Amino acid sequence: MAKANVIARTGNEAMAEAMRQINPDVVAAYPITPATEIVQIFASFVADGLVDTEFVPVESEHSAMSACIGASAAGGRTMTGTSSQGLALMAEMLYIASGLRLPIVLADVNRALSSPINIHCDHSDTMMVKEAGWIQIFSENSQEAYDNMIQAIKIAETAKLPVIVTTDGFIISHGMERIEILDDADVKKFVGVYKPENYLLNLERPITVGALDLQDYYFEHRRQAIEAIRNSKSVVLDVAKDYAAKFGKSYGLFEKYKLDDAECAIVAMGSTAGTAKVTIDTLREKGLKVGLLKPRLFRPFPKEEIADALQGMKAIAVMDRSDSMNGQEGPVCLEVKAALFDKGLNKAVINYIYGLGGREIRLEDIESVCNDLSSCLKGKAVNKINYLGVRD
């Protein structure tokens, strides 16, 4: 028989379950496909009295993030969820949340941005806000989405920075999988009681939030935020260590799969990493020494660690589920290339833009990536930027 804490949940249900166990003070949200269920399920927890949360149904995502900022500045543990156009509408307020150093946690279900209008998965939405000062954590499956949400609250409150946790739209958000969940009491103990240092409702020590900050101090305050996001890498690791010690589940800055003895590597985030692992198993049997590096933490980008992990590779395929529309490579590829350059590593790096708007990514697609890597190892010329699975 299965253990009592093994359950079947979709990605959205898993994220809502984590939110129930965290029991935040405030959730303000506006529905959007495919993230709607997260806050819809959470709203039912509120209605059923399973949480003590003040749920604020608002009229737009801009308002949702504004309400979250107000609640967090007031001293409340605050969470929300959105996707795609919703995240885009929040963009203005996302910068304010990070600038004010507010530890809000946002569940984002990755979905393509319009236009053309599309409701399916790609990573364009979170990539659009990669410069917003939010820590970004990607999840491969429902289990990771659940574990990442619980760790995110602690990361946010320790680093005094907001965190986005992602899942792949529909593929994970609407796919039911086996997940292991923790006991309510264990989660409660792990996340602890939120004690903000400075907050609006602290009448003993009144503060001003959001004051005008011109040439004299703006730069110093931004510099502090820049340093905070740089340092948050160690916070992510500390929280992961604590999580592993308490619950025996190990998370890091990224996951390595059959990478240590590999000659070439695939770099992929989100659900595709799972499909890549299956392909890697098959091709290893055929003699190709290929491995996977799956970034978990995309912001801040752990460049030194990623360059170290990839330094033994002779060829690297970086898979981007979005395009930067910048006339060069996709966002993940550019980060990886910069990381390698700083280590003095001149590697063959091939970029694949794939899965835009939910375009299916199959084993055969990843096998073709591996074949290109194999060609690269044999010294054959390979296109630097490729559009995988698109009709030309």
Partner 1 sequence: MKDLMEFRWHGRGGQGAKTAALLFADAALASGKYIQAFPEYGPERMGAPVAAFNRLSSKPILLHSGVLNPDVVIVLDPTLMDSVDVTEGLPETGIIIVNTAKPASDVRKELNIKPGIKVFTIDASAISKETIGRDIPNTPMLGALIKVTGILDFKEMLADTKKKLEKKFKSKPEVIEGNLKAIERAYNEVKS
Of 176 and 226, which has the nearer Cβ to partner 1? 176
What does the block give as tokens for 41?
């399920």
Selected range binding partner 1 among 83-91, 183-191, 239-247, 360-368, rule: CB under 8 A: 360-368
Exposure on the CB side of residue 236, measured as CA atoms within 13 A:
30
3-state secondary structure of 25: coil
Of residues 300-329, those binding partner 1 (CB under 8 A):
none
Q: Identify the residue among 23, 57, 174, 368 touching partner 1 (CB under 8 A).
A: 174
Of 8 and 390, which has the nearer Cβ to partner 1? 8
- Closest approach, Cβ 149 to partner 1, in A, equals 19
Of 100 and 171, which has the nearer Cβ to partner 1? 171
Distance, in Å, from the CA atom of 82 to the CA atom of 126, rounded to the nearest integer, reads 11
Sign of CA dihedral 167, 168, 169, 173: negative
Of 70 and 357, which has the nearer Cβ to partner 1? 357
State the CB neighbour count (10 A cutoff) for residue 90: 27
**117 lies in the binding site for partner 1 (CB under 8 A):** no
Site mask for partner 1 (CB under 8 A), range 251-290, x = bound: --------------------xx-xx-xx------------
- Closest approach, Cβ 178 to partner 1, in A, equals 5
Question: What is the per-residue burial (b if ≥16 Cβ within 10 Å, else e) of 250-273?
Answer: ebebbbebebeebbbbbbbbbbbb
**14 lies in the binding site for partner 1 (CB under 8 A):** no
Angle of helix 11-22 relative to helix 36-47, nearest 10 degrees?
40
Of 154 and 296, which has the nearer Cβ to partner 1? 296
**176 lies in the binding site for partner 1 (CB under 8 A):** yes
Q: Identify the residue among 122, 125, 168, 323 touching partner 1 (CB under 8 A).
A: 168
* 8 Å CB contact between 115 and 62: no
Selected range binding partner 1 among 80-88, 128-136, 169-177, 219-227, rule: CB under 8 A: 169-177
State how beta strands 78-82 and 54-57 pair.
unpaired
- Closest approach, Cβ 101 to partner 1, in A, equals 35
Q: Identify the residue among 134, 170, 243, 298 touching partner 1 (CB under 8 A).
A: 170
Of 121 and 239, which has the nearer Cβ to partner 1? 121
**Which residue has 């003070």 as its token pair?**
25
Exposure on the CB side of residue 102, measured as CA atoms within 13 A:
30
**295 lies in the binding site for partner 1 (CB under 8 A):** no
For 270, left (φ over 0), alpha (ψ -120 to 50), or beta?
left
Number of residues that bind partner 1 (CB under 8 A): 28
Q: Identify the residue among 358, 369, 376, 386 touching partner 1 (CB under 8 A).
A: 358
Selected range binding partner 1 among 89-97, 123-131, 173-181, 224-232, rule: CB under 8 A: 173-181
Q: Identify the residue among 14, 171, 313, 376 touching partner 1 (CB under 8 A).
A: 171
Sign of CA dihedral 82, 320, 267, 225: negative
Question: What is the per-residue burial (b if ≥16 Cβ within 10 Å, else e) of 31-62?
Answer: bbbbbbbbbebbbebbeeeebebebbebeebb
**Which residue has 């030194």 as its token pair?**
304
**138 lies in the binding site for partner 1 (CB under 8 A):** no
* 8 Å CB contact between 84 and 108: no
- Closest approach, Cβ 17 to partner 1, in A, equals 15
Q: Identify the residue among 57, 70, 75, 175 touching partner 1 (CB under 8 A).
A: 175
Q: Give the gyration radius of the chain's Cα atoms.
A: 21
- Closest approach, Cβ 328 to partner 1, in A, equals 28
Q: Among residues 135, 134, 25, 126, which one has the least CA distance to residue 73?
A: 25
Of 54 and 367, which has the nearer Cβ to partner 1? 367
What residue ranges bind partner 1 (CB under 8 A)? 1-2, 6-8, 120, 140-141, 168, 170-172, 174-178, 271-272, 274-275, 277-278, 358, 360-363
